[in-house]
Amino acid sequence: MSGDRNTQHPSAEATNLGLALDWIEQLVTGYLALRFERAESFEPPPLEFCSEDSPLELFIKSQDPGMEEFAVVMMALAPHLRPGFYNKILAQFLPEGGEVHEFGGVHGSDHRAILPTGETAQFILAGNDVRKRIEVQRMFGAEHWFAKKKVVWLDTVRPGEPMMSGRLCIDPELVEWVTLGTVGKPRFGIEFPAQAIETEMGWEDLVLHPDTLRQIREIESWVRHKDVLMEEWGMKKKLAHGYRAFFHGPPGTGKTLTATLLGKYTGRDVFRIDLSRVVSKYIGETEKNLALLFEKAEYKEWILFFDEADALFGKRTDVRDAHDRFANQEISYLLQRIEQYRGLVILASNKRNQLDEAFVRRFQAIIHFPIPRPEERYLIWSGAFPPQIEIAAEIDWRQIAAKYELSGAGIMNVMQYCALEVLADQSRRLDLKRLEGAILREYVKEGKVV
C-alpha cells in the first residue's frame, strides 16, 4: 500500500470491490435490522473474492484485519464508490424520511449524500451496548494499526463535541490503490503542504567540499542503519528518535540536490516543504495539515526537507494581531513535530547567523555548504557541458575555475545559456568569448561586480 502497485486483472478488481461492497451493505442492513428490532438475530455473511491478487485481497492479506476492522474500512470506502450508499440503506427503515440520531453521519460540503462518522460505526457494530461501543472506539486510538498506518481515522471535531462524531476518513492512497491498482505520490496543495522532489543525478554528479561530503555520508549511514542501532542494539532508550540536520550556505551550493540524493540512495521518498509559504499562507490550517503530513511521513519513512527554514528560527514575531499570534503558535508546533519525528528531517537556509544556541541543540548535524573552491569549481566546469559541444582549445577550465567564483547552480546556468546559444546558431562550438559573456551575464544576475 505504500508503493506503486499494478494489478493485471482490472475486471477482478471491480468484481472484488463489488463483492466487498455487497458484503458491507448486507452487514450494515443486517445490523440495522437488529437495531430497529426487525430481526431477532443476524449472522454476518462470509466474504469471498474471485481473485487472490486484487489490491483489496492483498490489503486484507497484508493487514489481516478482524471482521469489525474490515467493516470499518469498508464503511469509510463505500461512499467513494457508491455515493448514496447510506441513504439507500436508511430508506429501507425510514421510508417516509427522517433521521436516526444514534446512526450519526454528516453531509460534506460537496458530497450531497450521507458520510459515515465514528458514531455510525458504533451504532452498526455495537448498537447501545456500551462495552462494544468502547471496543469500536478503541479502533481509533493512537496505538491501533489504523492510526499507525494512517488507514482510517476520524476527522477533528469542534472542542467539546464527542470525538466519535468525527467524519470517518480513509487514506486517499488506499482508495486509489484498491480502485485503480496504482498509487501516485500525494499532490501539493493546502491540505498537503509538501511536494515530492527527485533527481536523475547521482553522487558522482555532486561536487562538495570534502568536510561537507563526509558529514552527508554520516547521515546516509544513519538512514541505512538506524533500525539496527535503535532496535537490535537497544539504543532507543538512550538516543533521541529521529535525525535532524541543518543545511546552510549560499543558494545553488547543493543543499536540495543532497537531500534528493540521500533519498534516492536509501530508497526513501523526499518531500520538500517551503516553510515561508506554509507559515504565511496557511495560517490557521498549518497544524491540522502538517499533523497529517507528519503522520503519513513517519509511517512511510519519508525524508522531510524543510526549505526556507529562516521562518523557524530567529526572533519570534511581535504579536500585533491575530495573524502574528497564529504564526507564533504554528512555528512552535512545527518545532515540536520536527523534534518528535522518528525519521530524517533536514532544514535548509541560506544563512546561519540567526541560529541561536537553543536551536542548535535540536540538531545532530549542522552542515555548511560553501561556495565551491577553485578545485571544486574545476570539477564542475569540466563535467558540465554535453559531449556534443566542441570546447575551443583556448578555454582552460582550471583558469576559468580560478578566475570566476560561482556556485554549482551558477555554473550550470552558464552551461545552459551557452548550450542554447550554440544550438541557436548551429555552430556546436563554444569559444572563450561566448563563455565569458555568459559568465558576465550570470554575475550581473547575482549582483556581483566583475
CATH number where 419 lies:
1.10.8.60
Q: What's the number of domains the chain is made of?
A: 3
How far apart CA 19 and CA 27 sit, in angstroms, is: 12
**Residues paired with residue 365 on neighbouring β-strands, in sequence order:** 245
Q: Which of 330, 351, 368 is the last residue of a domain?
A: 368
Cell reading at 341: 519525528
Is residue 123 domain-shared with residue 66, that is, in the same domain?
Answer: yes
pLDDT at res. 15: 82
Cell numbers 455510525: residue: 120
Is residue 225 domain-shared with residue 364, that is, in the same domain?
Answer: yes
Please check whether residue 187 lies inside any domain of the structure.
Answer: no
User: Domain residues for 335?
Assistant: 195-368
Q: Are 380 and 400 in contact (CB under 8 A)?
A: no
Is residue 144 domain-shared with residue 281, that is, in the same domain?
Answer: no
pLDDT at res. 9: 46
pLDDT at res. 6: 39
How far apart CA 272 and CA 78 sit, in angstroms, is: 33
Please check whether residue 185 lies inside any domain of the structure.
Answer: no
Q: Which domain CATH number covers 284? A: 3.40.50.300
What sign does the CA torsion over 352, 353, 357, 358 have? negative
Is residue 209 domain-shared with residue 175, that is, in the same domain?
Answer: no
pLDDT at res. 436: 97
pLDDT at res. 51: 62
Is residue 353 domain-shared with residue 426, that is, in the same domain?
Answer: no
CA distances from 170 to 11, 96, 176 (A): 23, 31, 11
SS3 at position 250: coil
Give the tens place of pLDDT for each residue, 10-42.
Answer: 455 678 899 999 999 999 999 999 988 898 889
Is residue 356 domain-shared with residue 421, that is, in the same domain?
Answer: no
β-strands 243-248, 344-349 pairing? parallel
- pTM of the shown model: 0.75
Please check whether residue 1 lies inside any domain of the structure.
Answer: no
Is residue 340 domain-shared with residue 199, that is, in the same domain?
Answer: yes
pLDDT at res. 293: 84
Q: Which of 316, 345, 368 is the last residue of a domain?
A: 368
Is residue 201 domain-shared with residue 281, that is, in the same domain?
Answer: yes
Q: Which of 368, 395, 430 is the last residue of a domain?
A: 368
pLDDT at res. 50: 67
Please check whether residue 5 lies inside any domain of the structure.
Answer: no
What sign does the CA torsion over 276, 277, 278, 280 have? positive
Q: Are 5 and 182 in contact (CB under 8 A)?
A: yes
Is residue 338 domain-shared with residue 379, that is, in the same domain?
Answer: no
pLDDT at res. 8: 42
How far apart CA 264 and CA 198 sit, in angstroms, is: 8
pLDDT in tens, the chain (450 residues): 333 333 444 455 678 899 999 999 999 999 999 988 898 889 988 887 766 678 888 888 889 999 999 999 999 999 999 999 999 999 999 988 888 889 999 998 889 899 999 999 999 999 989 999 999 999 999 999 999 888 999 998 999 999 999 999 999 989 998 888 888 777 777 667 889 999 999 999 999 999 999 999 999 999 999 999 999 999 988 888 899 999 999 999 999 999 999 999 999 999 998 776 666 555 556 676 777 788 889 888 999 999 888 766 654 545 555 555 555 676 777 888 888 999 999 999 888 776 667 777 889 999 999 999 999 999 999 999 999 999 999 999 999 999 999 999 999 999 999 999 999 999 899 999 999 999 999 999 988 876
Closest to 56 in 3D by CA, of 13, 87, 94: 13
Is residue 295 domain-shared with residue 322, that is, in the same domain?
Answer: yes
pLDDT at res. 241: 86
Please check whether residue 190 lies inside any domain of the structure.
Answer: no
How far apart CA 115 and CA 130 sit, in angstroms, is: 23
Q: What is the biggest distance separating any 2 CA atoms in the chain, rounded to whole angstroms?
A: 95
Is residue 152 domain-shared with residue 238, that is, in the same domain?
Answer: no
Please check whether residue 189 lies inside any domain of the structure.
Answer: no
Is residue 33 domain-shared with residue 168, that is, in the same domain?
Answer: yes
Please check whether residue 4 lies inside any domain of the structure.
Answer: no
Please check whether residue 188 lies inside any domain of the structure.
Answer: no
